[in-house]
Structures are given as C-alpha cells and as structure tokens.
Amino acid sequence: GQNIDQPTEMTATEGAIVQINCTYQTSGFNGLFWYQQHAGEAPTFLSYNVLDGLEEKGRFSSFLSRSKGYSYLLLKELQMKDSASYLCAVMDSNYQLIWGAGTKLIIKP
Amino acid sequence: GAVVSQHPSWVICKSGTSVKIECRSLDFQATTMFWYRQFPKQSLMLMATSNEGSKATYEQGVEKDKFLINHASLTLSTLTVTSAHPEDSSFYICSARTQGGSDDSNQPQHFGDGTRLSIL
C-alpha cells in the first residue's frame, strides 16, 4: 500500500528552527510537495522537490532523499504566524497526490 | 500568480437541499481541477478529479450521482452536492493544477479558500 508518515504534532519556540520529517512508501515517485494549512483554511503551496537535495526558499527549506524515501521541511527564525499544519504529499507513478495526515506545529513565545 | 477562487465560503442549509460550489482559476487555465473533502483534524481526502470537457474521475466510495461535477471551461469547475444530509457537512476544497509546458502532471496544485458546508 501507499503510505506517508509525518509526526502528528510538534512544538517549537519563536525565533528557533524546526525540522518536520516525512517518510513515504508509494508506487512510483513523481515529486514531493509541502503545503501549509492554517486552521480552518485551505492549504497553501510551499515547495516541490523531485531531485535529491535541498531547496531553499526564504525561511523555509525542503530536502529530499529518494533512495531513503525521506523528506524534511526546515523552518528557520520561527514566527508565531508559522503555527499551522504542514502537509507532506507525494505524487505517485499515476501522478496522483498521496497526502500525509499533516504535522501540527505549535509555536510558543 | 496561480490564484484559485472558490465560492461560496460558507453555506448553511436544510437537509434535502442541493448546494453548488464553484471553483475558478483566476489567472491561469486549468485543464485539471480536484475536489477534496476534509473533516475536522483529518487529512485531505480526494473526492474526484475534474478534467475540462470530459467526465470527472471519482475516488472509490464517492457517489457520483450525489456529488455532481461539471468542468465546462478551462477556468471553472463546479461541485453540486445533491439532496444534502447532515453527514455531508464538511469542509470542501477545490484545487487547480497550473500548466507546465507539454506536461502539467507534476505541477503543484493551488487551492481555493474552501467551502464550509453545514447541513441542518
């Protein structure tokens, strides 16, 4: 079966750095997406990785290792507004998105 | 760029009513749009994939006669929940995939703001 695993919840302090991990087992791979979803709102696209390595975009970076079936989202200089759920999604061989359950990130002052 | 508009954002109606939700790509053309449902504290669940000019592809367990999808143009898809019941109350979200040259299959999905549907 297809499976995306990410922690249910994480807590971090304002100004700090946090890494949210995602491991996956899917039938084929055509890229991995990270989305941010604030409570009661729709997801917002953050990043896309299809090749191994680190993609940096401002305070957010995303890393992919296809051989390990692993990705992480790194958030630096955390702000209170970063409190949200972060969804990992993998596109399989049929170009279908397989969604993780999301990681709820709580930022404390 | 890549703005998706979804309307209405909130609907409260009586059981048995049919509700139509619109999803528009405002600044790009979307051959493919997706309809999701999300219950509180749960992950997104894909209901159907909507392709412009053809019939939608429904996920297993989703009743196509109850959730009617129409994708008549490259910028508009609609979802109609027919004869809605309280168990249909949920957060419905559409997304549209931007086009990327000859193949847009791996382009990111951009989401509308969602429609919160409450059936009394």
pLDDT in tens, B38-91: 988 788 899 999 888 888 999 999 999 999 999 888 899 999 999 999 999 999
B111 near A CB under 8 A: yes
Contact residues, chain B, for A102 at CB < 8 Å: 43
* pLDDT over 70 (residue A43): yes
Nearest to A86 by CA among A51, A45, A31: A45
Nearest to A84 by CA among A28, A33, A32, A46: A46
Contact residues, chain B, for A48 at CB < 8 Å: 106, 108
Contact residues, chain B, for A35 at CB < 8 Å: 111
Nearest to B114 by CA among B22, B47, B29, B50: B22
Contact (CB<8Å) B106/A97: no
Count of pairs with CB atoms under 8 A, one residue in A, one in B: 44
Please confirm whether the linkage preceding B108 is cis (ω < 30° from 0): no
Interface of A with B (CB under 8 A): 30-31, 33, 35, 40-45, 48, 50, 87, 91, 95-97, 99-102
Closest in B42, B106, B109 to A30, CB measured: B106
What is the least distance, in Å, from the CA of A74 to any CA of chain B?
A: 19
Task: Give residue-wise pLDDT tens across range A74-103.
Answer: 999 999 999 999 999 998 887 788 899 999
Contacts 24+ apart (CB under 8 A), A54-61: A60/A34
pLDDT band at A48 (very low <50, low <70, confident <90, very high): very high
Other Cβ atoms closer than 10 A to B26 = 11
Contact (CB<8Å) B113/A41: yes
Q: What is the dihedral of CA B12, B14, B16, B22, to 10 degrees?
A: -20
pLDDT band at A65 (very low <50, low <70, confident <90, very high): very high
Contact (CB<8Å) A41/B114: yes
B40, with CB counted inside 10 A (0-12, 13-18, 19+), is: exposed
Task: Give residue-wise pLDDT tens across range A15-34.
Answer: 999 999 999 999 899 899 99
Contact (CB<8Å) A45/B109: yes
